[in-house]
Structure 1
Amino acid sequence: MASLLRPLDRPVAHYEEQYLDLMRRVWVEGDERRDRTGVGTRSLFGETMRFDLSDDRVPLLTTKRVYWKPAAREMIWFLSGDTSIRPLVEQGVHIWTDWPLDRYRRATGEAIDRDAFEARIIAEPGFAEEWGDLGPVYGAQWVRWPKYVPAGEGLFARDPQGINQIADLITAIRTNSTSRRLLFTGWNVAELEGMALPPCHMTYQFYVSGGRLSCSLYQRSCDLALGVPFNLFEAAMLTRMIALQCDLEAGELVWFGADVHLYLNHEALVETQLARVPGGEPRLRIVRRPETVFDHRIEDFVVEDYAPQPHIPAPVAV
């Protein structure tokens, strides 16, 4: 039995090595494919990564800077149920601007730049309502999944409150922690066409063991260079937020990627990042426990011991 154990003097691989190995395999071995954006990708199907979240660990990449505050603001925005980019751009977060900007340009023919478009989103509520709404994306499904109630004479009306999957999940974790139904999803088939972008990180399932809450994330479409670093941080953040509300510690993040791809115009990013060596072990601390998971503010989150290598710019495929 002892011979099967890892030698004590064998170095433990850095948590980021699995991400870099996946990036290398996708770029070298991936199937070259056409995609919705027209840019083209190299892609592998069905990949897994696991990250330890104990002791406030967080899977922030160190081989390039991941701007965690915009990611945290996005997660808080998801949990608010809002679907307008206005609250994000008011905070200087541009994650979602490209999609409504592209829609506006195509509809009007106006060659407006991002800064001017966002300035109008902030300054003109009517403009924001018409052009800044993304449809029933993530947050709408997470906290207001459509629900219909009897309205008399065999008719049904949509309940504006909807179903709050996150609140129901927290209640279930507290009251039935061994359930195999501790999950929520954003993949609402009936509303996909109304979304600016159907959910990529689509289904989260949770598991309680030994006083720890673990999360598995199923992601259907995985932009490995730009999207996945945010997705990993946000999933870890959300797991810790929910664990806090349930008097649990965070356990593990298990990431399942279906179509895992790199865009063909990300060659410079891939080569630069794969030449770097990861190091350090950042921590994500939550410094305040609000009444509910929906009451968090950006000031509640602190990342410590994060000393990444420089940011690597790359274009977003819309």
Structure 2
Amino acid sequence: MLNRLPAAFTAPEQQYLDLMARVFERGDERLDRTGVGTRSLFGETLRFDLSNGQVPILTTKKVFWKTAVKEMLWFLTGRTDLRSLLQENVRIWSDWPLAKYREASGEAISQKDFEDRILSDDDFSARWGELGPIYGKQWRRWQGPDGRVHDQIATLVETLKTNPASRRMLFHAWNVAELGEMALPPCHMVYQFFVSKGRLSCMMMQRSVDLLLGAPFNWVGTVALMLMLADQADLELGDFVWVGGDVHLYLNHFEAAQEQMSREPRPMPTMRLARKAASIDDYRIEDFVVDGYDPHPAIAAEVAV
């Protein structure tokens, strides 16, 4: 039996918990790429009003929001090497190159030892720490068939400043020609933006959603991006609209998800920037300030690779 919160509770986070319950109750159970198995729903939408400063950093478990923001900052650099991410003490991308190395070498190396070699050995890092043309490359250095390189983020910033009514304010990473070279094809695929009455809203479409582990991180990263874009274009924040394609819980996440659904949401925190940066490329983790975050304890769960 699922532990459900009182129906009268209408905190913004409740819509996430309700979605998790729907996946439990109505999801289609299937064998997935990882071999772990999932229970999945298709085509879900959530909306968060950011105009009062509150942001969807979940409170029913501790979300390591700095890690999520650092990942977004890393995407914006356009880099695709694991070493530069590990140097920021972010380890959420290690699983995929580690699995590839173990399969190719037959070596039962620990994650820590693998990461230490990436950090200390240039040749090893170049061979096993390159993640391929993932998000950052596509966002900042999409190469067209004519050889021209397109910086989707720079174009977006310029359009927000000069033509905020445009219906073409979006970027994406689903480069069909390069999917096979990526450590993991993009999950959060498309970001589209809308400006109304001086407020910036974003709709993010995610084709594949690990509801327990992935979605909370992706939401924090998206809100951090919105803050930076709004800052550059002298806008306030509006709505964050999230659209999930295949929204799933892994079968080995059920116990963790039930624990999370048993907890009562607390007030969501606020996030702001401590300074106005010179450009979209000039933000640092120290620029992000989160106030009023009082979450329940973290919930551990394994990443499906």
Could you state the TM-score of these two structures normalised by the residue count of structure 1?
Answer: 0.92
CA distance in 2, matches of 1:22, 1:55: 24
Which of 121, 137, 142 is the equivalent residue of 1:140?
137
Which of 135, 149, 166 is the equivalent residue of 1:179?
166
Which residue is 2:239 aligned to? Answer: 252
Q: How many corresponding residue pairs? A: 298
2:281 aligned partner, one-letter code: F
Which residue is 1:47 aligned to? Answer: 44
Which of 238, 245, 261 is the equivalent residue of 2:225?
238
In 1, are the aligned partners of 2:61 and 2:299 still within 8 Å (CA)? yes
CA distance in 1, matches of 2:70, 2:28: 34
- 1:1-318 matches, within 5 Å, as 13-149=10-146, 158-159=147-148, 162-318=149-305
Could you state the TM-score of these two structures normalised by the residue count of structure 2?
Answer: 0.96
RMSD over equivalenced CA pairs, Å: 1.0
1:138 aligned partner, one-letter code: Y
Structure 1 position 173, deviation (Å): 1.3
1:51-89 alpha-carbon deviations (Å, 9 max, x no partner): 011132210100000000110110000000000111111
The ranges of structure 1 where at least 4 consecutive aligned residues each deviate by more than 6 angstroms after the TM superposition are none
Q: Secondary structure at the match of 2:32?
A: coil
1:288 aligned partner, one-letter code: R
1:265 aligned partner, one-letter code: N
CA distance in 2, matches of 1:28, 1:138: 33
2:64 aligned partner, one-letter code: Y
Q: Secondary structure at the match of 1:203?
A: strand
Task: Look at both structures and tell me which one has the larger radius of gyration over its CA atoms.
Answer: 1
Change (3 A) 1:248 1:12: farther
1:167 aligned partner, one-letter code: A
Q: Secondary structure at the match of 2:237?
A: strand
Q: Secondary structure at the match of 1:255?
A: strand
Which residue is 1:6 aligned to? Answer: none
Which residue is 2:5 aligned to? Answer: none
CA distance in 2, matches of 1:67, 1:28: 28
In 1, are the aligned partners of 2:58 and 2:268 still within 8 Å (CA)? no
Which residue is 1:3 aligned to? Answer: none
CA distance in 2, matches of 1:113, 1:55: 44
1:266-306 alpha-carbon deviations (Å, 9 max, x no partner): 01111100100001120011101111111111100111100
Percent identical residues:
56
1:33 aligned partner, one-letter code: R
